[in-house]
A = this chain, B = another copy of it.
Amino acid sequence: MAIQRSPLAPASFPALAPVAGVRLATRACGIRYTDRPDACLIELAPGTPVAGVLTRSLTASAPILWCRKALSGGRARAILVNAGNANAFTGAAGRDSVERVVGAVARKFNCKEREVFVASTGVIGEPLPDGKLTGALEGLRADLAADNWAAAAAAIMTTDTYPKGATRQAEIGGVPVTLNGIAKGSGMIAPDMATMLSFVVTDAKIPAKTLQALLKPAADASFNSITVDSDTSTSDTLLVCATGAAKHRRVSGRSDPLLRGFRAALDDLLRDLAHQVVRDGEGAQKFVTIAVSGAASRRAARRIGLAIANSPLVKTAIAGEDANWGRIVMAVGKAGERADRDRLTIEIGGVAVARDGQVVPGYDEAPVARHMQGQEIHIAVDVGVGRGKATVWTCDLTHAYIDINADYRS
């Protein structure tokens, strides 16, 4: 079955300028794919601070367990990523593979092992042929270049239908800094394929602890606010590295006013990458924004939003271009967060279809129907109990999702 480029894909991969202190290389190692680069090495200037958010899965992959440990060191010299094999559910052999790879990279870069990060995405449960990766190391290092962003984004793809990248500029105390990021992922876990990976770098000079403090809320409002099919991967990895090559004033912590512009740029970059993952959601035909307000807290609002976004009945209704607000009411009810049924308000495409717990009598269905026929669907829900707000993003649930995931063998 040929997988077509998502109809929601951006027109092209953006132009990513080099970031001082970062070089990238890719290589075809034949781990699973035989006709394309499947490994990506990212080199970072010595001593680069790193922050990360990793999957909360209790069956996390071997690379995740390593990264959890390595993150406590707060420095990254190299990130080695492979596609085609997730090194998940591989037991002690998986751990040994990671140790061999990490050791080889550390020797190559003459750095500590805990300055080496690894990420693997692909089939679960098969031993990682790590020799193919370590064997490619010398070639990867020789090819390192500052302008390899598009190739890097392509090398980490699995079932993605397009490479995902984004770039932003900001100023810290008047000094320009750049943020570049790449990502992959098209289901929370694709056909046997685990997962969502994203790597972001900047030349800003930010200590690891501050970077982590900036990353957490930014990840919550982006990658933790998207869903394709409610499934959670064994391998989700988001790393942010700050080489410190930019010569700006020293920053004093996450609340430093100097960081205002950087923080906004990081938030925006991660949201952009997260949206690109949703737009490549398996079988997606429509990009859906769900804004929840009036909840008891921001966290409650996000849970309500995700309950709506994960409901198969809401998602199939959207696929069918049906403004089925009854299913939205149902999803609010199952979220387990406080909501006042009799103050519930729902807008679709900006038109109020339900207010104070009842359908709006005689609302104009024509603009709502037209909105549902578009590619960008906007749903706003106010649950009438507080001031908590959150926005989440998802896609519709279509026949193509079944096609992609029901791998008819018979």
- Given A316-B406, A332-B58, A333-B57, the answer on whether A311 and B354 have CB atoms closer than 8 Å is no
Distance, CA A125 to CA B331, complexed state (A): 14
Distance, CA A212 to CA B339, complexed state (A): 28
The residue of chain B having its C-beta at the shortest distance from the C-beta of A403 within the complex is B399
Is the C-beta of A123 less than 8 angstroms from some C-beta in chain B? yes
The residue of chain B having its C-beta at the shortest distance from the C-beta of A336 within the complex is B58
- Residues on B with C-beta less than 8 A from A130 are none
Q: By the criterion CB–CB under 8 Å, are B59 and A339 in contact?
A: yes
Chain A residues numbered 104-125 whose CB sits less than 8 Å from any CB in chain B: 123-125
Q: By the criterion CB–CB under 8 Å, are B317 and A406 in contact?
A: yes
Distance, CA A230 to CA B229, complexed state (A): 12
Is the C-beta of A36 less than 8 angstroms from some C-beta in chain B? no
- Given A312-B231, A402-B399, A402-B402, the answer on whether A59 and B330 have CB atoms closer than 8 Å is yes
- Residues on B with C-beta less than 8 A from A373 are 410
Interface code A89-102, partner B: CB below 8 Å = 1, 0 otherwise?
11111000000000
Is the C-beta of A234 less than 8 angstroms from some C-beta in chain B? yes
Q: By the criterion CB–CB under 8 Å, are A313 and B409 in contact?
A: no
Residue of A231, A319, A354 with highest tally of chain B CB at under 10 A: A231
Distance, CA A230 to CA B327, complexed state (A): 13
Distance, CA A354 to CA B337, complexed state (A): 37
Q: By the criterion CB–CB under 8 Å, are A341 and B58 in contact?
A: yes
Q: How many residues of A contact B (CB 8 A)?
A: 71
Q: By the criterion CB–CB under 8 Å, are A125 and B91 in contact?
A: no
- Residues on B with C-beta less than 8 A from A313 are 187, 189, 229, 231, 405
- Residues on B with C-beta less than 8 A from A336 are 58
Distance, CA A210 to CA B167, complexed state (A): 65
Chain A residues numbered 366-396 whose CB sits less than 8 Å from any CB in chain B: 369, 373
Is the C-beta of A334 less than 8 angstroms from some C-beta in chain B? yes
Is the C-beta of A169 less than 8 angstroms from some C-beta in chain B? no
Task: Among B319, B326, B369, B399, point to the contact of A125 (Cβ < 8 A).
Answer: B326
Q: By the criterion CB–CB under 8 Å, are A322 and B59 in contact?
A: no
Q: By the criterion CB–CB under 8 Å, are A330 and B57 in contact?
A: yes
Task: Among B187, B310, B317, B329, point to the contact of A405 (Cβ < 8 A).
Answer: B317
Is the C-beta of A7 less than 8 angstroms from some C-beta in chain B? no
Task: Among B93, B319, B410, point to the contact of A402 (Cβ < 8 A).
Answer: B319
Q: By the criterion CB–CB under 8 Å, are A124 and B231 in contact?
A: no
Q: By the criterion CB–CB under 8 Å, are A410 and B321 in contact?
A: yes
Task: Among B125, B358, B408, point to the contact of A320 (Cβ < 8 A).
Answer: B408
- Residues on B with C-beta less than 8 A from A59 are 329-330, 332-333, 339, 341, 344
- Residues on B with C-beta less than 8 A from A192 are 324, 326-327
Is the C-beta of A248 less than 8 angstroms from some C-beta in chain B? no
Q: By the criterion CB–CB under 8 Å, are A334 and B406 in contact?
A: no
Is the C-beta of A66 less than 8 angstroms from some C-beta in chain B? no
| Top 9 A-B residue pairs of the complex, sorted by shortest distance between their CB atoms | A59-B333, A124-B326, A320-B406, A57-B333, A232-B334, A316-B405, A91-B358, A319-B406, A316-B406
Task: Give chain A's interface residues, CB within 8 Å of chain B.
Answer: 55, 57-60, 88-93, 123-126, 187, 189, 192, 194, 229-234, 310-313, 316-317, 319-322, 324-327, 329-339, 341-342, 344, 354, 356-359, 369, 373, 397-399, 401-402, 405-410
Known pairs A89-B357, A373-B410; list 5 more (Cβ under 8 Å): A58-B338, A230-B310, A313-B405, A397-B406, A399-B399
